[in-house]
Structure formats: structure tokens, C-alpha cells
Amino acid sequence: MAALRAGRPLHLGGSLDLTVAGAEANVAIALARLGHRTRWAGLVGADEFGRLVLRTLRAEGVDLAHATTDPDAPTGLVVFEPRTADLTRVLYYRAHSAGSRLTERHAAAALADGARAVHLTGVTAALGPGPLAAVRYAAEQAGRTGAALCLDVNFRARLWSARDAAEALRPLAARATVLVASDDELHLAAPEAADTEAARVEALLEAGVREVVVKRGAEGAEVFTEDGSTARAAVRVTVRDTVGAGDAFTAGYLSGRLDGLPVDGRLERAVTLGGFAVAAAGDWEGLPTRAELGLLSAAPGTALR
């Protein structure tokens, strides 16, 4: 999507900063900055917003061989409105957008060459029947080819109801290699009968998920596997903007997995990227390169000379 960021409540007017955002795009950019080969598959409109999206992803080193421009639908739009210092309202304009016209055909083309990992989110699944079919196809194809499937629940109440999300995501979760969810959205991926976090994690592992990754916001995160659990506190930084932190966290975890790190190493990289995300404005702009992963260990106020 194109993203507009307001400096104050929208009804007061003022300027809007234009950039790019989107759950899967954020993850693709983060992984590309860390040196991984990434491909983004999706649709944008034949408009200036679409050109901005493609230009940004291309500049960040993301493969766009299977990005599509739709001449008959506009690029999706998201608006971030700060309401207080700690509260941001997010407004989506994605109905009838190019992204809502994603289909199984687009997913098939993007996955035809194979992949080590496939990343999907509940955001795309929420955009309509076509995008949901594309997500389902991608999950099935990952299973057929042996690619690791990462599913981030990423529930957005402005896009669909919790009931619809659970109905769509529970079958997908059973196919996941890695299931990522905030502690308040894990129930949307786990069987309905599971009514505690422990029961939900157990049910997901029994269904075949290898790693259940539970994000706990400022408290850090915990990873559950058949061998037990591993927890990690969040990296302490000065917080500027929490939007996009979950995508950065997921990208860090996937990066560690692709690099063959053990679970604690994956989790360490995940919270590190989450820390970079909240310490900078924007969804992805402040994310590090591989050479910069150690920067957060510097003392506050450090100048690198």
C-alpha cells in the first residue's frame, strides 16, 4: 500500500508524509536488508502510488518479477493518525483496490520457481475471496514443495471480524511450520475448544506446527516447540513508533531460521529487529542491515564517528 502519516489528528488538517507499508512488504524489505533473497508477489494500481510501491521495493533489493500492475483498480492506501503520544489510529482504504484482486493464479506464478520459505499473513487473507484463495494456494504449495511456511496471524479488526478470521486462519495454521501471533490473537489460529494459551499452543503443536511464536509486546516473546519453550525479553530502546514492530520481529525470526540459528538465536534476532522498528519512525525505514545488528548495544546518546 501507499501510506500516509499524519503529524496530528486528521480533522485538524496539516501535512501528510507519503511512504509505503504492508505486512508482507515490510518483512520482505527487512529480510533483504539482512542479505536474504526475497520475492514479493502482489498487485498495485497503474497509478503514482503503485509506482512508489514498486520503486521502493526495488530500491530495497526485493525481487519484483511477479509483482503485477492492475490498470483497472487503484493502489491500496493506509493512513496513520496519531491520537495521543501512545495511540495511533490506522485507517485502511483497500476495498476494491488492486491488492484485493489477488488470485491463486498470481500465487502460482510467484511460487513456480520454488522457495526455501513462504511468508503469509492474515492481512492479505482478509482482503476478499481472491486473496484468501491465493493465501490458501500458497500454503498448500509450500507443503507440496517442502518450503517452510510462516503464517503471521496479524489480525486487523478494521478489515474483518474475529469470527471470519478464525474460520479462515485455523485451517491455514495447521499447515504452518512457524505460527506467529500476539498473545491476544493466538485464539484465532488455535482450535476453538482450546481456551487457554497453554492449551492453544499444545493444540497447534499437535496439529503439526513446529514453532509457535507468541509476541508479548513490550514484555518480549516466547517460542514453543515440542522440546519446550524459550523466552526473551524485549530490547529496551526509546520508543518512537510501534507500528511495524510485529513485522520486523517476524522478519528477524525468519532471518535467524534461514541462517540456521537455534531457537534462542532466532528469538534474539527477532527482538533486535523489533527494537530497531520501535526506535524509528515508519514501518521499515529504521530497520538494520546485517552489519548494523549490534548497534542497539551502544550506550544511549552514542555518536558513531
pLDDT in tens, 219-270: 999 999 999 999 999 999 999 988 899 999 999 999 999 999 999 999 999 9
pLDDT at residue 33, rounded to an integer: 98
Average pLDDT over residues 9-30: 95
Average pLDDT over residues 22-39: 97
Whether 295 is covered by a domain: the verdict is: no
Whether 196 is covered by a domain: the verdict is: yes
Question: Could you tell me where the DSSP H helices lie in the chain?
Answer: 23-33, 48-59, 104-111, 122-125, 129-145, 162-173, 197-207, 245-258, 263-278
pLDDT at residue 304, rounded to an integer: 81
Shared-domain flag, residues 236 and 140: yes
Q: Is 126 left (phi over 0), alpha (psi -120 to 50) or beta?
A: alpha
Among 71, 99, 127, the domain-final residue is 99
pLDDT at residue 219, rounded to an integer: 94
Which range of residues forms the domain containing residue 230? Answer: 23-46+100-290
Residue 86 has pLDDT above 90, yes or no: no
pLDDT at residue 55, rounded to an integer: 98
Whether 82 is covered by a domain: the verdict is: yes
Shared-domain flag, residues 75 and 3: yes
Whether 296 is covered by a domain: the verdict is: no
Shared-domain flag, residues 147 and 201: yes
Predicted confidence band at 181 (pLDDT cuts at 50, 70, 90)?
Answer: very high
Shared-domain flag, residues 124 and 211: yes
CA-based nearest residue to 31, from 256, 263, 267: 256
Predicted confidence band at 25 (pLDDT cuts at 50, 70, 90)?
Answer: very high
d(CA 203, CA 86): 35
Instruction: Report the chain's mean pLDDT, rounded to a whole number.
Output: 96
Shared-domain flag, residues 74 and 5: yes
Q: How far is Cα of residue 27 from the mean position of the Cα atoms in its chain?
A: 5
Shared-domain flag, residues 51 and 128: no
Cβ atoms of residues 157 and 165 within 8 Å? no
What is residue 83's DSSP assignment? E
Shared-domain flag, residues 216 and 230: yes
- Catalytic residue at 264? no
pLDDT at residue 299, rounded to an integer: 83
Question: What residues contact residue 18 under an 8 Å CB cut-off, 6+ apart?
Answer: 2, 3, 4, 52
Shared-domain flag, residues 145 and 275: yes
Whether 304 is covered by a domain: the verdict is: no
Average pLDDT over residues 79-90: 88
Shared-domain flag, residues 222 and 109: yes
Whether 302 is covered by a domain: the verdict is: no
Whether 300 is covered by a domain: the verdict is: no
Among 36, 65, 99, the domain-final residue is 99
Q: What percent of the chain has pLDDT over 90?
A: 92
pLDDT at residue 305, rounded to an integer: 80
Shared-domain flag, residues 85 and 227: no
pLDDT at residue 16, rounded to an integer: 95
From 152, 247, 259, 283, the catalytic residue: 247
Residue 85 has pLDDT above 80, yes or no: no
Count of beta carbons in the 10 Å neighbourhood of residue 16? 14
**Domain of residue 229, CATH code:** 3.40.1190.20
pLDDT at residue 145, rounded to an integer: 95
What is residue 43's DSSP assignment? E
Predicted confidence band at 77 (pLDDT cuts at 50, 70, 90)?
Answer: very high
Shared-domain flag, residues 267 and 162: yes
What would the pLDDT profile of 109-129 be if each residue is shown by its tens digit?
A: 999 989 999 999 999 999 999
Sign of the torsion formed by the C-alpha atoms of 136, 139, 141 and 143: negative
Predicted confidence band at 87 (pLDDT cuts at 50, 70, 90)?
Answer: confident
User: Into how many domains does the chain fold?
Assistant: 2
Whether 7 is covered by a domain: the verdict is: yes
Shared-domain flag, residues 215 and 143: yes
CA-based nearest residue to 100, from 137, 54, 132: 132
CA-based nearest residue to 267, from 229, 237, 239, 297: 229
